[in-house]
Amino acid sequence: MDKNDNKDKKNKKENNLEEKDKNKEEVASLKEKILELESQVKRIFADYQNLEKRVAIEKKEWLIKANKDLILKLLPALDFLLLSSKHIENEGLKLSIQNFFDILKTEGVERVETVGKEFDPNFMEGIKTVAGEESRVIEELRSGFKMGEQVLRPAQVVVGSGRQNKEELN
């Protein structure tokens, strides 16, 4: 029986070794699977974060476009008020215009500064030239507006041609 016991012990040791090898392989396989799943989770999470960012940007762009369209529809009313203020001295009219500009400012809309400035074709549309300092805006015919650096509507301006008035020559 000693031989059988030795054989049994030897078989048990071999079986134990085989089981340990199987367990090691199984553990290695499971570790590999865990790493693969962790990698997938990280990629999915990164994709989700990118989707959230893209949706937020698209939403912001959509809101800006909607605001831009509405503002462009309202600007002719402001033009009428500004034209009226050139012909009528009325404190209520001035307050209405100022209120209009304040509302535009809260929406990120600014008036393009023109008179006395260098002509800038990015923000201004030259309608006519007159005698005066070359490339300087002499008069603003219609206000221009921008939202950030995006032009909503270019200003229509009269630009100096660099020629002097006939009166100045005499």
The pairing of strands 155-160 and 124-130 is parallel
Q: What is the pLDDT of residues 71-127, one digit of tens each?
A: 999 999 999 999 999 899 999 999 999 999 999 999 889 999 999 999 999 999 999
Q: What is the pLDDT of residues 34-54, one digit of tens each?
A: 999 999 999 999 999 999 999
Amino acid making up residue 92: G
Phi/psi of residue 104, each to 5°?
A: -60, -40
- DSSP-assigned letter for residue 136: B
Q: What pLDDT is stored for residue 161 in this prediction?
A: 87
Mapped onto helix, strand or coil, the DSSP state of residue 26 is helix
Longest distance between any two alpha carbons in the chain, whole Å: 139
Q: Where are the domains of the chain?
A: 1-76, 111-170
Q: What is the pLDDT of residues 2-12, one digit of tens each?
A: 666 666 777 77
Burial class (CB in 10 A: 0-12, 13-18, 19+), 159: buried
| CATH architecture for the domain at 111-170 | Roll (2.30)
| Predicted structure pTM score | 0.62
